[in-house]
Amino acid sequence: MFVPKFKYGTRTSLIRRFLHFDPPKPPAAPKTLDIDWKPIKSNKSLKRDGNKHNTGRGVVFGLLCLTPVVTLGLGFWQLQRLKWKNSLVAECEDRLTYKPLPLPKNFREEDVENFEYRKVLITGRFDYEKELLVGPRLHDDRKGYLLVTPFIRCNRGGRILVERGWISEENVNQAKRRLKHLSMPESTITLECLLKVPPEKGMFHIEHEPGTNMFRYVDLERMCKETNCKPIYAQVVQDFKDHPEWLKDKVSKIDHESSGGKWNLWRWRSQKESDNNDDQSQLETFRAPMVGEAEVPTSQDSSLEFSPLQFVNAGVPIGKVPKVDYTNNHLNYLVTWWGLSLASTVLLLLVLKNKKFVNPSDEKLRHARKYM
């Protein structure tokens, strides 16, 4: 815009003082806080960063493709394991229905697996000097242990380990046990047992207490080494019946061979008669009627039965209930693996449908066209 010039002193000088004519200014550039227009210097290569990004996405995409296949294969493997375990459980349950048979004299360790959960009869006597305790274990909310005792078989059948059953913590000491003819029979007896293959050490098992007869789990190899027994493990079947025949003085060939002569045999018989008399008097005392119970006859009748509480209080081990203890969780594993296979397959299809795995440069260009 043209502004006329006037000399000072003219009449328009006063007007110019109040009127100020300046040329119009150009519009200011818009400012934004979202975009930094100043480039930042960097030594990174866009091509190299793009390759790293592609590598990471490729690894994730590859794992996503492998997951359905691997989990599907694991599911079929668990299906085979389920069929095998069901067959094994059915076979062991059939063995429980068979009548007990005498354990062969030359029974080998390799045959235990084929006779597992098979009822057998063993005859011999216990070696109480090398008793072992496994535990602690709970029974009806009471702390106790599994009592494992070496058993010397008759007819030179060797020594095997016999799990007599659960015993309370208060009766671990042999001197506190009552009903000696049941808790600690000294004569030659016949027991009904189940042959068992003890499980191996698990990752959650803790170590045994050194220098004691206490074991945290059934460590067959170490227990047989300490007791000089064959690696054969038997479990006494639960039996609450009285066995008055165990009070009788029966001298087996093993006892006769270890007597060392007629004098020792006579002395052993005299001691046994005294012990049997003590056991009989103790049995009559223990069979006294309790509060709320009917009177138990004191006659030597093998059909009489004790209650589990009487066995626990007297220190008589409570044997094993004849049933199969195998855990069968393969169906749960099967459902888990096939569920993961289905979920990963659906996720893979969604990823392929949405085209998430594309070139990073194409993503940047698409983003620029959309928002810039």
Shared domain for 170 and 259, answered yes or no, is: yes
Number of H helices, E strands in the chain: 9, 8
The tens place of each residue's pLDDT in the chain, 372 residues long, gives 455 555 555 555 555 555 555 566 666 655 555 555 565 555 555 555 555 556 777 788 888 889 999 999 999 999 999 999 999 999 989 989 999 999 988 888 888 988 899 999 999 999 999 999 998 999 888 999 999 999 999 888 889 999 999 999 999 999 999 988 899 999 899 999 999 988 887 777 788 877 788 899 999 999 999 999 999 999 999 999 888 888 865 444 444 444 444 434 344 444 445 545 544 544 444 443 343 333 334 445 566 888 999 999 999 999 999 888 888 899 999 999 999 999 999 988 888 887 655 566 776 777 777 776
Answer yes or no: do 154 and 79 share one domain. no
Do residues 75 and 140 share a domain?
Answer: no
- Identify whether residues 179 and 308 lie together within a single domain: yes
The domain of 338 spans 50-86+329-360
Q: What is the pLDDT of residue 24?
A: 62
Instruction: Report the C-alpha gap between 302 and 190 in whole angstroms.
Output: 14
7 within a domain of the structure (yes/no):
no
Residue 355 domain-assigned?
Answer: yes
Tokens of 317: 């081990």
- Is 189 among the domain residues? yes
How many domains is the chain built from?
2
pLDDT in tens, 9-53: 555 555 555 555 556 666 665 555 555 556 555 555 555 555 555
Question: What three-state secondary structure class fits 152?
Answer: strand
Q: Does one domain contain both 66 and 180?
A: no
Residue 366 pLDDT = 75
pLDDT at 184: 92
Q: Given this model, what pLDDT does residue 305 score? A: 85
Are 236 and 337 members of one domain? no
Distance CA(263)–CA(258), nearest Å, equals: 12
Q: H or E stretch including 163?
A: strand 159-168
0.75 surpassed by pTM: no
Contact 24, 14 (CB under 8 A): no
**Confidence at residue 300, expressed as pLDDT on a 0 to 100 scale:** 58
Q: What are phi and psi of 163, to 5 degrees?
A: -85, 105
Query: Is residue 122 domain-shared with residue 76, that is, in the same domain?
Result: no
201 and 229 belong to one structural domain: yes
Distance CA 170, CA 142 (A): 10
Q: Looking at residue 283, what is its pLDDT?
A: 42
- 10 Å Cβ neighbour count for 188? 18
Same structural domain, 147 and 77: no
Closest CA to 234 of 188, 166, 145, 165: 165
pLDDT attached to residue 256: 45
> Same structural domain for residues 57 and 202?
no
